[in-house]
């Protein structure tokens, strides 16, 4: 006969006494999950649509970032499950990235670069909130995971800040 274990953590985020913290962390992780999934969709379209030689480096960076962002979404989903949450399905998705839509002029890469910087900045801000929520021993595992993901996002933002400097430099303008 199969038995269900009633053993429960007595300390940490998995304990019954931490249920409200755990629930709040799961909700924050769900938001992070959706941010990453939406970013994947936006980066895919923004890596396919641009035209022109100047767009090639941006396209290549976006193509690489798609895989990283999808990996982040999977990490967030796995952590949601570990915290006894349910990874949401597509019916719970609501798009929010108005700033990262493909421009009508496919040779205008600046709106894409600015949109990436805004998406990465939003992720950085949200992930810092998760880390703060988990700080102080509430959930060091989630804090550690999100800190690692935060470093990736900061690197992405810095790369695209470099692109915008290059594209906005007076020497980048045609004669």
Domain count, the chain: 1
- Which residues, including other chains, have CB under 8 Å from residue 79's CB and lie 6 or more apart? 29, 141, 142, 145
- What's the pTM value of the predicted model, to 2 decimals? 0.90
- Report if residue 174 sits inside a domain: no
pLDDT at 174: 55
Q: In order along the chain (175 residues), what is the average pLDDT of each group of 10 residues?
A: 58 87 97 98 96 94 97 98 97 96 93 97 98 94 98 98 88 56
- Report if residue 4 sits inside a domain: no
- Which residues, including other chains, have CB under 8 Å from residue 116's CB and lie 6 or more apart? 43, 46, 62, 65, 100, 156, 157, 160
pLDDT at 60: 97
Please give the Cα distance from 142 to 137 (Å, whole number). 10
- Report if residue 21 sits inside a domain: yes
- Report if residue 36 sits inside a domain: yes
| Structural domain that includes position 113 | 16-87+97-168
Which CATH number goes with the domain that contains 57?
A: 1.20.1260.10
- Report if residue 146 sits inside a domain: yes
Q: What is the CA radius of gyration of the chain?
A: 19
- Provide the token pair at 71: 């990996």
**Residue of 153, 175, 173 whose CA lies nearest to 43:** 153
pLDDT at 171: 67
Is 130 buried (19+), middle (13-18) or exposed (0-12) by CB count in 10 A? buried
């Amino acid at each position: 006969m199969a038995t269900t274990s009633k053993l429960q953590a007595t300390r940490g985020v998995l304990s019954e006494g931490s249920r409200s913290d755990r629930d709040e962390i799961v909700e924050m992780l769900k938001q992070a999950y959706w941010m990453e999934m939406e970013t994947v969709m936006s980066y895919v379209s923004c890596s396919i649509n641009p035209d022109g030689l100047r767009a090639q480096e941006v396209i290549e960076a976006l193509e690489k970032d798609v895989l990283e962002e999808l990996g982040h979404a999977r990490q967030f989903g796995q952590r949601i499950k570990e915290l006894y949450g349910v990874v949401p399905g597509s019916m719970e998705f609501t798009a929010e990235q108005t700033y990262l839509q493909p421009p009508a002029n496919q040779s205008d890469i600046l709106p894409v670069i600015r949109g990436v910087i805004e998406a990465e900045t939003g992720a950085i801000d949200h992930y810092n909130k998760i880390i703060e929520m988990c700080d102080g021993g509430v959930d060091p595992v989630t804090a550690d995971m999100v800190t690692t993901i935060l470093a990736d996002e900061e690197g992405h933002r810095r790369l695209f800040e470099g692109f915008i400097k290059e594209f906005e430099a007076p020497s980048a303008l045609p004669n």
